Amino acid sequence: MNPQETTTGTADSPLLVERHGRVVTLTLNRPHRRNAMSTAMLGQLAHELGRLTERGRDAPGALVVTGAGGTFSSGADTREPDWRDLSRRAVRRACFRTVFSALHEAPFPVVAAVEGYALGGGLELALACDLVVAGEGSLFGLPELGVGAVPGGGAVHSLVRRAGRGVAARMLLIPGERVRADELARLGAVERTVPDGGALAEARALAASVAEGNPALLEAGVRLLRDSGHLDRTAALGVENGYWWQAASAANRDPSHADDQSISGHGR
């Protein structure tokens, strides 16, 4: 095996980790449960995201998150013991939030590769990524009201911001409502659709092209994207200013980015 190609995890591990060059793929691996996210899976996800972030020069250039068996994720595992016990549910919610915070803080772009279903926490996981590639027949939904909950990981906020209040209301309030990937692509919540079965290959190709960039510039870019998109213009320009200087400094340290087309060459 090429030293730049590694795989960790066994067939029964809830999370598989693969590295191909500068792209790492995390695969939710509970296909018998449509990749429902157990507390153990969430803990492993949080651990792996922390490990990838801390690898310094060996950190990936981009990350792909996907699911095994033709489904992204059906959300939280409601068959876990004591599912309706409030204290246990609070623990699981904290695990979800740890994962989403880790994705937000990752210094590299994150691409979701969605097939089949992305429901509840699965939808929240996809929307926590910077880019979403989906099979055109994939279905997205928020079934929480039907199981005695409301979304707890930011899905409603993300949907309103990325696709609009109307589709967020439909998915949250109408029982059993599922929205296809091609509709979410028209609304802007999904960046790219492909024929069913092709999402992972497309996401990896997209991640590989992104990962070719200067790591410091990529980090500045993804942090600008995540930290300014929800702000008003004045606040967003303040955030942009900080990352502009960070990127300009990084470009000046890298001669390959010091020409007239580089970010440091723009007189903004």
5-211 — its CATH code?
3.90.226.10
Residues 6+ apart with CB under 8 A from 11: 29
Confidence of residue 90 (pLDDT cuts 50, 70, 90): confident
Residues 202-260 have pLDDT tens digits of 999 999 999 998 888 899 999 988 888 777 788 878 878 888 887 887 766 655 544 43
Kindly give, in sequence order, each residue whose CB lies less than 8 Å from that of residue 193, ignoring residues fewer than 6 positions away.
133, 134, 135, 136, 181, 182, 185
CB 206 within 8 A of CB 131: yes
pLDDT of amino acid 78? 86
pTM (two decimals): 0.87
Residue 267 has pLDDT above 50, yes or no: no
115-127 average pLDDT score: 97
| Mean pLDDT, range 76-85, rounded to an integer | 82
Would you place residue 5 in the very low, low, confident or very high pLDDT band (cuts 50, 70, 90)?
A: low
pLDDT at residue 57, as a whole number: 72
**Tens of pLDDT along 145-204?**
988 888 888 889 999 999 999 999 999 999 899 999 999 999 999 999 999 999 999 999
Name the β-bridge partners of 179: 140
- The identity of residue 79, as a single letter, is R
Cβ atoms of residues 34 and 74 within 8 Å? yes
Angle at which helix 86-105 crosses helix 39-53, to 10 degrees, equals: 20
Percent of the chain topping pLDDT 70: 89
Tokens of 236: 């967003």
Give the model's pLDDT for residue 8: 66
Rounded to the nearest 10 degrees, how much is the dihedral formed by the CA atoms of 203, 72, 70, 166?
-90
Question: Which H or E run contains 140?
Answer: strand 139-141
CB 71 within 8 A of CB 117: yes
